[in-house]
Structure 1
Amino acid sequence: MASYSPGVQQASKAQIKRWRTHLADERAEAAVYRALATKREGEERDILLALAEAEKRHEQHWLTLLGEHASAPRKASFNNRLLGFLAKHFGSVFVLALAQRAESRSSYSTDVDATPAMAADEAIHEEVVRGLATRGRNRLSGTFRAAVFGANDGLVSNLSLVMGMAGAGLAPHLVLLAGIAGLLAGALSMGAGEYVSVRSQRELLDASKPTQITLSAAKALDINANELVLVYRARGMSPEDAEHRAAERMGRFACDCNPSFSLQAEVAGKPESDEHETIGTALGAAVSSFCFFASGAVIPVLPYLLGLSGFTAIAVASVLVGLALLATGAVVGLLSGAPPLSRGIRQLLIGFGAALVTYLLGLLFGTTTG
């Protein structure tokens, strides 16, 4: 690392400019974590405040290098300023996902004026934020999956339907009627389908969850013909682990031998958290799917509702749906920590590909029956 004493003139203008940018970004990132901490409590709050302190150490590094030049700091990058605004006003998993992505883009590993420890800090910060975002992603993923699926299905299926009808040469009022029918039928079908699907999945998983019968039955079992060992082996334990757990359950010893053989104890009457929260609730998935399908499906028919027809209506519908597909893809990318642009383009290509096929089929159908 190149080192400079405060105020020494051998630092170039380009270096000073870069150091000021780093300084502003570190201050902005620390402010983001402090803002997020105000919306959390307990361990999560402590972790976020610790991250803010770490950014403060990095800030001090750039202050030391800048010396007298630190009096005129630059503005933080637009991304960090936007992240700060979102953290102050929302503080949701979306902000944590954005913070995770911001940490992953750190340039310290290639900046000769940043220490190796600072580069390592940024890499670890990404993992810390990823961990903080995980539970929020788990809670969101079930309903979010239904929402994204519903919105994209509404956009693509109704655009395909409208373009197919328009390509076949139907009158604008018939295209509009078909679009509205497709919206209602699709939204109801998606909502009902998601409810049944999620409900069935949760029931299937609940049927596989172990009961607490071992707590009451263990005392009466024959110690020499211990079926309790079979219970634990059926749950996936090795024979050694199963023998150890069965002995504990039957009161032959407390956990005073090899603790690595023990798993989390079963406690009668203890309230359990939702082990299937990543699936979401059936009602939540159904409502999300219905609403988002309808909101997506209405976009392709908007031009016809406004009185447009022919190629103009198709072009306007395509542009509106394209923007919506880019937006939904970008949101998925942001939440998953992936590049939002590439995810948006992927959604766009898939949606337009399906719509183009149905439009060509409509043209072919209209030509052959005309």
Structure 2
Amino acid sequence: MSTPVARHPDARDLRRWRRYLAEEQAEAAVYRDLAAKRDGEEREILLALADAEKRHERHWRELLGDDVGKPVRGTARTRALGWLARRFGSVFVLALAQRAEARAVYAQERDATPQMIADERIHEEVVRSLAARGRAKLSGTFRAAVFGANDGLVSNLALVLGIGATGVDPTVVLFTGVAGLLAGALSMGAGEFVSVSSQRELLEASTPDPLARQAIPHLDLGANELALVYRARGESADDAAAHAERTIREYRPGERSDSHRRGRDFAEIGSPWGAAFSSFCFFASGALIPVLPYAFGMSGVAAVAVAAGMVGVALLATGASVGILSGASPLRRAVRQLAIGFGAAAATYLLGLLFGTTLG
């Protein structure tokens, strides 16, 4: 860490440095709390990040000297992140930490050292990589949850509002919504089953046979057909020949082949039945919400308003979740999800009004 700038600080400098000091202390605590929820390599990486924040903390302490003053609390954002880290330690917290590191507050700070600015950039990449591990584990389930629930919310809200706008009896709207729920949930479940099954079958067909490695020591070096394998995978003739010779030369009996990767890939894709059941449940849970007002005897504008309000809250929640997990702005993703959902529902409602007027 370079030597602090030698100049007399004014009151604004002291306030800013104290704020930075508090932020570094809070961020170090976040990484320690996250580390406490993990073990192995991830724990070591998070503790190393906490140590880096302590180095930054020492920089601000040196600048402040005797003017450290009373302890200052970190920002509300960082304190909230710490609260989540202590209680959950999930990939969502890592995604929020990634977003916090991306703010690069020292980039325009004259009293921050070049090393600190570089550290911020690297910290963002470290946290991004840790979050990517969690995203990979969550990808199948989370995708099914978000898309299933969102489809149920939007499609059944559009269906219920469209039918309700024609002026039919509320009981008809209720049964139409229930029918839409069951039909959509079954369709989603069947679609996910076919999709995941197809992914697994394609992976199975494209994965090298682990037993093929047993033939390597018996290959004829003069007519090295192993080179054909690598050429078929896209390597040039010279590269394939060199690759094949190296593989035969370095072959070790009993060495683990790439077959373990296939098991990991299958685990990430998931089970067809598990994906189908998850999609069915998530779609049904979303599709149930716009039906609830009619199930409790509401009708007319009141039922429409309550259904739209409940679905709006749910859409905001799913959009914000996607934003958090992707490291993007939760507010922006939430508003986008709301606009898309309400746009589809409004179009169907207007069509329902048009058909209701025509039929009337």
**Please, what TM-score do these two structures have when normalized by structure 2?**
0.92
Q: Does 1:297 align with 2:295?
A: no
Which structure has more helix as a fraction of its residues?
2
CA distance in 2, matches of 1:289, 1:70: 55
Per the alignment, residue 324 of structure 2 pairs with 334
Match of 1:176 among 174, 177, 180: 174
User: 1:44/1:316 Cα in 2 relative to 1: closer, same or farther (>3 Å)?
Assistant: same
Per the alignment, residue 313 of structure 1 pairs with 303
Match of 2:10 among 6, 9, 12: 12
Residue type of the alignment partner of 1:79: R
CA distance in 1, matches of 2:317, 2:41: 34
Query: Which deviates further from its counterpart, 161-170 or 14-23?
Result: 14-23
CA distance in 2, matches of 1:91, 1:162: 39
Structure 1 counterpart SS, 2:269: coil
Say whether the 8 Å CA contact 1:139–1:280 is kept in structure 2. no
Aligned residues: CA RMSD: 2.3
Match of 2:201 among 198, 203, 207: 203
Q: Does 1:348 align with 2:346?
A: no
CA distance in 2, matches of 1:206, 1:148: 28
CA distance in 2, matches of 1:152, 1:293: 7
Structure 2 counterpart SS, 1:163: helix
User: 1:2/1:241 Cα in 2 relative to 1: closer, same or farther (>3 Å)?
Assistant: closer
User: 1:357/1:266 Cα in 2 relative to 1: closer, same or farther (>3 Å)?
Assistant: farther
Per the alignment, residue 111 of structure 1 pairs with 109
CA distance in 1, matches of 2:123, 2:132: 14
Could you tell me the percent identity over the aligned residues? Answer: 62
Per the alignment, residue 227 of structure 1 pairs with 225
Structure 1 counterpart SS, 2:337: helix
Say whether the 8 Å CA contact 2:4–2:63 is kept in structure 1. yes
**Please, what TM-score do these two structures have when normalized by structure 1?**
0.90
Match of 2:142 among 144, 156, 173: 144
User: 1:279/1:254 Cα in 2 relative to 1: closer, same or farther (>3 Å)?
Assistant: closer
Structure 2 counterpart SS, 1:274: helix
Per the alignment, residue 258 of structure 1 pairs with none
Say whether the 8 Å CA contact 1:36–1:91 is kept in structure 2. yes
CA distance in 1, matches of 2:181, 2:11: 59
User: 1:90/1:337 Cα in 2 relative to 1: closer, same or farther (>3 Å)?
Assistant: same
- Matched residue pairs, number? 356
Structure 2 counterpart SS, 1:237: coil
CA distance in 2, matches of 1:219, 1:64: 64
Residue type of the alignment partner of 2:87: H
CA distance in 2, matches of 1:197, 1:41: 34
Q: Does 1:359 align with 2:349?
A: yes
CA drift at 1:249: 4.4
Say whether the 8 Å CA contact 1:140–1:280 is kept in structure 2. no
Match of 1:153 among 135, 151, 160: 151
Q: Does 1:87 align with 2:85?
A: yes
Match of 1:124 among 106, 110, 122: 122
CA drift at 1:122: 0.8
CA drift at 1:82: 1.1
CA distance in 2, matches of 1:54, 1:322: 42
Residue type of the alignment partner of 1:360: L
Per the alignment, residue 274 of structure 1 pairs with 264
Say whether the 8 Å CA contact 2:5–2:111 is kept in structure 1. no
CA distance in 2, matches of 1:225, 1:243: 10
* Deviation sequence 1:49-93 (CA, Å, 0-9, x none): 110000001111111222233231221111111111111111111
CA distance in 2, matches of 1:334, 1:355: 25
User: 1:203/1:254 Cα in 2 relative to 1: closer, same or farther (>3 Å)?
Assistant: closer
Q: Which runs of 5+ in 2 are unaligned?
A: none
Match of 1:45 among 33, 43, 48: 43
CA distance in 1, matches of 2:267, 2:110: 45
